[in-house]
Amino acid sequence: MKPDLFEAPDYYFLDDLLSEEHKLVRDAARSWVKRSVSPIIEEYAQKAEFPDQILDGLAEIGAFGPYIPEEYGGAGLDQISYGLIMQEIERGDSGVRSTASVQSSLVMYPIYAYGNEAQRKKYLPKLASGELMGCFGLTEPDHGSNPGGMVSNFKDAGDHFVLNGAKLWISNAPFADIAIVWAKDESGRIHGLIVERGMEGFTTPETHNKWSLRASATGELIFDNVKVPKENLLEGKSGLGAPLGCLDSARYGIAWGAIGAAMDCYDTALRYAKERVQFDKPIAGTQLQQKKLAEMITEITKAQLMAFRLGQLRNEGRATTAQISMAKRNNVDMALNIAREARQVLGGMGITGEYSIMRHMMNLESVITYEGTHDIHLLITGADITGISAFK
Ligand SMILES: Cc1cc2nc3c(=O)[nH]c(=O)nc-3n(C[C@H](O)[C@H](O)[C@H](O)COP(=O)(O)OP(=O)(O)OC[C@H]3O[C@@H](n4cnc5c(N)ncnc54)[C@H](O)[C@@H]3O)c2cc1C
C-alpha cells in the first residue's frame, strides 16, 4: 500500500470551532492511525483478519469509552471529542472503528448507564484498557430491522437465569470476552444480560466470506441453556428502549466516522487527479473530474457541519433519536457515494489495494446496513415529521 500522505480537508475552517482539547484528541488519534493502522490494514483486510495488535493503541488514544467518566477508566471527554476520535479511526478503516464503537457505545455504555455500581467497577476499567473486549447481541437470524420480535429468552431458575437463543452478525463476537445480550424474560420484556466467554453452552462461531469489513471479526452468539448468574442482569433499564439507547450513541459515532472514510477517499482522489496525466494534462484539469471533486468536498463540508451541530446537541443532552438517525443516514450515504466516485477518479488503480478507496467502499456497504439500514433511518425521520409510523 502507498505511504499515508493524508491531509484532512477543512473547507469551512471548522477547526476554528474546536477547543484545544478537541484538537489534541483528534491529532493524537490521527497520528496513531497513520503510524499503526495505515501500514498494516490493507494486509489484514485482504486476509480477513482483525489486527489485534492495535488494541493497546486504541485504548491509549481513548477510543474505548471516550465519554465514560475517568473514575471508571474512560477518557471523560465530551461528545465532539468522541466524534472526532471515531472520524480519525474510520479514516483508517471502518472495521477498526466498528470495534471501537461496539466496545464504547454498545458494551461500556449499557454497563455504565443501565448497570449497577458493582458491574461498573468490575467491567468498565478493564474494557477501557482493552484487557477485556466486548460485543453486543441484538440482531437475530429472523429479526434484524425488527429487533423487538426477538425470540432469545431467559427463564428464572432460582439462583440463576437460563438463556436460550441465537444472535447473528455480531461484531467482535469471535474474540469477545463478554457479550451484552438482549433477550426476553418470561413475560416477554427485553432485558440486557452480561454473558461471559466460558459459560457452559455459550459459543461464538465466526462468520466467514464477507466482502466488507474484512478487518473486523463478525460472528454468531449461540446460547444453549446457558446458566447466567442473576447478578449479570442490567437492572437499570428494560424494554426495547434499552438497546435502542445504546444504538443512539453508536449511530452518532458512525455519523462522524463516515466523514473520516469520505475524507480519505476525497484526499486520495484529489492527489491522484493532480498527478495523473492523460491527454498531456493532469486529469484534475478536466471539467468532469473537477465536478466529482467539487461535489465531494461540498458533501463532506455539509456532513461535517451536521455532525458538529449534533455533537453540540449531544453535549447539551438535547439530541433526539430522529436527529441522530438523520445524520447517520446522510453521512454514511455521502461517504459511500464519495467512495464510488473517488474509485472512478483513480481508473484501474482504484480497484487495487495500493489505495484505500475500494476497501472503504466495500466497508461502507456494511456501515449503511448495520445499526439501522438506510431505509429504516428514512422511516424514523418520516415517522418523526409526520407523527405516523410507516414501519408496518
Ligand atoms: C458486518 C456487520 C456487523 C454487524 N454487527 C452487529 C452487531 O455487532 N450487533 C448486532 O446486534 N447486529 C449487528 N449487525 C446486524 C445489523 O444491524 C443488521 O444487519 C441490520 O439491522 C439489518 O437487519 P437484516 O440484515 O436482518 O436485514 P432486514 O431487516 O431483513 O432488512 C432487509 C431489507 O429490508 C428493508 N426493510 C426492513 N424492514 C422494512 C420496512 N418496515 N420497510 C421498508 N423496508 C424494510 C431493509 O431496509 C433492508 O433493505 C451487523 C451487520 C453487519 C452486516
Q: What is the CATH number of the domain that holds 39?
A: 1.10.540.10
| Whether 73 contacts 128, CB under 8 Å | yes
Angstrom distance (rounded) from CA 327 to CA 325: 5
Which residue lies with its CA nearest to atom 35 of ligand 1? 375
Same domain, 378 and 248: yes
* d(C-alpha 345, C-alpha 285), whole Å: 12
> Does one domain contain both 165 and 95?
no
| Any ligand 1 atom below 6 A from CB of 142 | no
Residue 160 CA, ligand 1 centroid: distance in Å: 32
Catalytic residue list contains 371 = yes
Pick the atom of ligand 1 nearest to 213's CA: 1
Closest-CA residue, ligand 1 atom 31, reads 145
Amino acid in the structure at residue 288: L
What pLDDT is attached to residue 170? 98
Q: Cell numbers at residue 348, please?
A: 484501474
pLDDT of residue 1: 76
Beta-carbon neighbour count of residue 201 at 10 Å? Answer: 14
Q: With respect to residue 391, please indicate whether it lies within any of the assigned structural domains.
A: no
Pair 81, 19 in one domain: yes
| Residue 3 belongs to some domain of the structure | no
Find the domain containing 330 and state its range.
241-386
Distance 199 CA to ligand 1 centre (A): 28
Query: Quick one: which atom of ligand 1 is closest to the CA of 374?
Result: 47
Residue nearest to atom 42 of ligand 1 (CA): 391
Give yes or no: residues 197 and 273 share one domain. Answer: no
Residues 141 and 261 placed together within one structural domain of the fold: no
Assess contact for 315 and 249: CB atoms under 8 A.
Answer: no
Of 98, 129, 160, which marks where a domain is finished? 129
Domain membership flag for residue 223: yes
| pLDDT value of residue 196 | 98
Q: Considering the domain boundaries, does residue 185 fall inside one?
A: yes
Per the CB < 8 A criterion, the answer to whether 90 and 257 are in contact is: yes
The pLDDT assigned to 2 comes to 82
Contact criterion met (CB below 8 Å) for 221 and 179:
yes
Tell me whether residue 7 is in a domain.
Answer: no
Whether residue 392 lies inside any domain: the answer is no
Q: Which of 129, 148, 172 is the last residue of a domain?
A: 129
Q: Let me know the angle formed at the C-alpha of 210 by 205 and 214, rounded to the nearest 5 degrees.
A: 95
Same domain? 264 vs 353: yes
Same domain, 144 and 18: no
Q: Is 391 in the pocket of ligand 1 (CB under 6 A)?
A: yes
CATH of residue 335's domain is: 1.20.140.10
Which residues touch 49 (CB under 8 Å, ≥6 apart)? 215, 217
The CATH number of the domain holding residue 207 is 2.40.110.10
Q: Write out residues in the chain with pLDDT < 50, as ranges.
A: none
- Same domain for 117 and 190? no
Note whether 166 and 218 are same-domain residues: yes
Is the Cβ atom of 94 under 6 angstroms away from ligand 1? no
Domain count, the chain: 3
- Indicate whether 22 and 99 sit together in one domain: yes
Residue 6 lies in a domain: no
Asked which of 191, 207, 234 is the last residue of a domain, the reply is 234
C-alpha 220 – ligand 1 centre gap (Å): 14
> Is residue 251 domain-shared with residue 365, that is, in the same domain?
yes
Q: Are residues 210 and 293 in the same domain?
A: no
Atom of ligand 1 at shortest range from CA of 102: 8
Question: Would you say residue 4 lies in a domain?
Answer: no
DSSP E strands: which ranges in the chain? 134-137, 153-156, 160-171, 178-184, 190-196, 202-203, 218-229, 233-234, 277-278, 281-282
